[in-house]
Amino acid sequence: MKRFLIPLGLFLVLVVFLAIGLNRDPHEVPSPLVGKPAPDFKLAQLAEPGKTFSPADMRGQVWLLNVWASWCVSCRAEHPLLVAFARQGGGLPIVGLNYKEVRGDGETDVKKLGADEESTLTRQRASAWLSQHGNPYVLSALDMDGRVGIDYGVYGVPETYLIDKKGVIRYKQIGPITPEALEQKILPLAKQLAGES
């Protein structure tokens, strides 16, 4: 009887490891940017073409940077939650980063488009999507070629960054924000960060 205990023990250890492995999402790669200053950028805004947005504009506020695109299917799943949250007025402004609106859809050949045409098409598609699904953003910045996305380590849309008053990234949500993630992680942390000077 005793001689079976060691293999049984090893088997149970293996089962535990496999169970942990199966329940982890390999697509959730921890971001090295958490705890680091949010990379700076300057991008044109969606609603007001003449204006640009830079993370420095949000200094002194705790805010969310939500990466989205109209072609992104998971964004559609996440969007109602953001719209409802913004409507509540929780004091946590959401800035949209519209990511590769035209280039990312995989259908439009941007090489045939001029920069102006791409910009026009981006605005058309992004605005149409927001008017159809609701606009939770205080503003959206346009990252047409995805360079800012690379600086933020974006590898799948949607992704959301919680940024503190000093402009440091404090949390990154990979994939759509779920009600649990919002209630249990983002909001408590945002509350705590709002208390910091």
Residues that bind another protein (CB under 8 A): 26-27, 29-33, 100, 103-104, 106-107, 109, 111, 145-147, 149-153, 155-156
Given the complex with another protein, which of 86 and 102 has the nearer CB atom?
102
3-state secondary structure of 42: coil
Given the complex with another protein, which of 128 and 150 has the nearer CB atom?
150
Given the complex with another protein, which of 94 and 157 has the nearer CB atom?
157
Instruction: State the nearest-atom distance from the C-beta of 108 to another protein, in Å.
Output: 10
Q: What angle do CA 146, 90, 45 make, to 5 degrees?
A: 30
Given the complex with another protein, which of 9 and 156 has the nearer CB atom?
156
Instruction: State the nearest-atom distance from the C-beta of 29 to another protein, in Å.
Output: 5
Burial per residue of 130-157, b for 16 or more beta-carbon CB atoms within 10 angstroms, e otherwise: beebebbbbbbbbbbeeebbeebbbeeb
Contact 69, 112 (CB under 8 A): no
CA–CA dist 54, 42 (Å, integer): 5
Instruction: State the nearest-atom distance from the C-beta of 36 to another protein, in Å.
Output: 8
DSSP for residue 103 = G
Whole-angstrom distance between the N-terminal and C-terminal Cα of the chain?
A: 63
Instruction: State the nearest-atom distance from the C-beta of 107 to another protein, in Å.
Output: 6
